[in-house]
Amino acid sequence: MPGERIVTIRPSSPKESEAEAGRNEGTPLHVDWLERGRANLSAIARRTSTLTTRRSVKKEWQAAWLVQAIGCIDLTTLSGDDTPERVRRLCAKARQPLRSDLVEALSLDAPPRVGAVCVYPTMVGAAVRALQGANIPVASVATGFPAGLTPMSARLEEVRYALAEGAQEIDMVITRAHVLDHDWKALYDEVAGFRRACGAAHLKCILATGDLKSLRNVYRASMVAMMAGADFIKTSTGKEDVNATLPVSLVMVRAIRDYLDLTGMKVGFKPAGGLRGAKDALAWQILMKEELGNDWLRPSLFRIGASALLGDINRQIEHFVTGRYSADFRHAMG
């Protein structure tokens, strides 16, 4: 490219980025653990408002963080008009999330790959076939997504169907009423039932935090889901009025930290819904690094549920390489 800057980016090594966290085996339900959570709204607002102002990530460091973010994206399509062809195009993007000329300009050791492709259960088969040989897992939403109000038997059957089609990760959604009624035993039994149904597949538990009414409820739901064996806790379905926000995410990662202190088990975190710009990817990575440490900058413990985000990351990386911003259509999803 005319005027391009040839640089060498050194994000996490392949060995580091592929490191697997141990499964969360869960614990019995300890209702007393839920009282550890306190939500000081002014302190939470102050902490999250200064995340990106106290730490500046610029130039080659920013490019490296953005390449690292690509590896943590669950590239997602969850639309009513999804088709196998749309899923195949999404999977093609998952195989090559960063344009080859940008990979070459950055002197990357290997092209990045996304953390997973996330689709509805009926689209899992198409995704698995399109990703054959790519070593990219397929995740599937299930359990009556997004409302979670279908009968338990139907929700379990949906999990089994997705797994039979080849899904390696299940993104389940909780029954919000259990949280709003403070029926922690019902929530625990629900998540534990899906954890058993998943077998070897990883379970991401969607809390739909925009429906939970308070940050204290968010903390309690996070702890119960982890006690029940969730391998990840996830903010949102992407269909609520309010999806991933930094204050909600701070409460959830503090719950992960408390659970680690209590059990020694690491649980992953996935913000989803509303993350569209490269600045969002940087902000959430800063949150993970400062609150939980470098282990949570890897796809084994951190995922971002998004689709449009990838286009802006490509655009920002191209700006770093060439010094110019390109049009959005140069970074289309398919």
If one counts every other C-beta atom within 10 angstroms of the C-beta of residue 8, the result is: 11
Residue 82, exposed/middle/buried by CB under 10 A (0-12, 13-18, 19+)?
middle
Question: Helices 215-227 & 184-198, crossing angle to 10 degrees?
Answer: 40
- Interatomic CA distance for residues 143 and 148, integer angstroms: 6
User: How far, in whole angstroms, is CA 79 from its chain's centroid?
Assistant: 18
Give the chain's largest Cα–Cα span. Answer: 62
Helix (H, G, I), strand (E, B) or coil at 19: coil
CB–CB of 244/235 below 8 Å? yes
Task: Compute the distance between CA of residue 84 and CA of residue 44 in angstroms, rounded to an integer.
Answer: 42
Taking the C-alpha atoms of residue 149 and residue 152, their distance in angstroms, rounded to an integer, is 8
- Is 185 among the residues known to form the active site? no
Distances (CA, A) of 310 to 2, 71, 113, 269, 277: 24, 10, 11, 19, 8
Residue from 234, 266, 280, 312 carrying the catalytic annotation: 234
What's the CA gap between 248 and 218, in Å, rounded? 7
From CA 47, how far away is CA 27, in angstroms rounded? Answer: 30
Choosing from 93, 204, 266, 270, which is the catalytic residue?
Answer: 270
Of 74, 93, 171, 312, which is the active-site residue? 171
Active-site annotation holds for 234 = yes
Reference 96, options 77, 112, 76; nearest CA is: 112
Can you tell me the distance from the alpha carbon of 204 to that of 226, in angstroms, rounded to the nearest whole number? 10
In the numeric block, the tokens 């390449």 are attached to 67
239 included as an active-site residue: no
Point out the residues that are catalytic. Answer: 171, 234, 270
